[in-house]
Chains A and B, each alone.
Chain A
Amino acid sequence: MTSEMESAIRFGSVSKSFGAVHAVQDLNFEAPTGAVTVLLGPNGAGKTTTVRLTTGALVADRGDIEVLGLHPKINGDEIRSRVGIVPPKPAFYDQLTGWENLQFAARIFGSDERSALDAAERFEIDHALLQEVGGYSTGMRTRLALARSVLHDPEVLLLDEPTAGLDPESSRKVLELIRELAGRGRTIVLCTHLLHEAEGIADQIVLVSDGHARISGSPEALTGRYLADPVVLFDAEDRSALSSLPDRHGVVSVAWNGAVHATLTDHDMLPDLIADLVRDGVRLTRVEPITPSLEELYFAMQRSDPEDPS
Chain B
Amino acid sequence: MNWNHVRAIAGADLRRLFKSKDYWIPLLIMASLFFVIIPLIMLTVIGQFEHTAFADQVASVVGNLPAQVNDAARGDTPLARASYIAAVFLLAPIAIIVPVTISAAVGSNAIVGERERGTGEFLAHSPVTMRELYVGKLIASLVPGYLALIVGFAAYALVVNLTVGPDLGGWFFPTVGWVVLILWVIPPFIAVALTVILRISARVRSAASAQQASSLVTLPIIMLSYAVSVSVVVSPGRSAFLIGAVSWAVAIFLSMRGAKKLRRERLLGVASET
Contact = CB atoms under 8 A, between A and B. Distances in A.
B215 interface: no
A279 to B, nearest CB: 64
B124 A52 contact: yes
Nearest to A91: B118
B16 A96 contact: yes
A85 interface: yes
B126 A108 contact: yes
B271 to A, nearest CB: 9
A19 B264 contact: no
Contact of A91 (B117, B126, B274): B117
A96 B19 contact: yes
A57 B16 contact: no
Interface string A92-127: 111110001000110111100000000000000000
| Interface residue tally on A, bucketed by range | 20 to 34
Interface stretch (B2-10, B83-91, B104-112, B217-225): B2-10
A48 to B, nearest CB: 9
Interface in B237-274: 264-265, 267-268, 270, 273-274
Interface in B92-146: 117-119, 121-129
A85 B270 CA distance: 18
B68 interface: no
Nearest to B23: A95
Nearest to B121: A87
B20 interface: yes
Given A18-B273, A100-B15, 12 more contacts: A57-B265, A58-B265, A87-B122, A91-B121, A92-B119, A94-B117, A95-B15, A96-B15, A105-B122, A107-B4, A108-B8, A110-B4
Interface of B: 4-5, 7-8, 11-12, 15-16, 19-20, 117-119, 121-129, 264-265, 267-268, 270, 273-274
Interface of A: 18-19, 52, 55-59, 76-78, 80-81, 83, 85, 87, 89-96, 100, 104-105, 107-110, 148
18 contacts: A18-B273, A18-B274, A52-B124, A52-B268, A57-B121, A57-B268, A58-B268, A85-B125, A87-B122, A91-B118, A91-B119, A91-B122, A100-B15, A104-B12, A107-B7, A108-B126, A109-B126, A148-B122
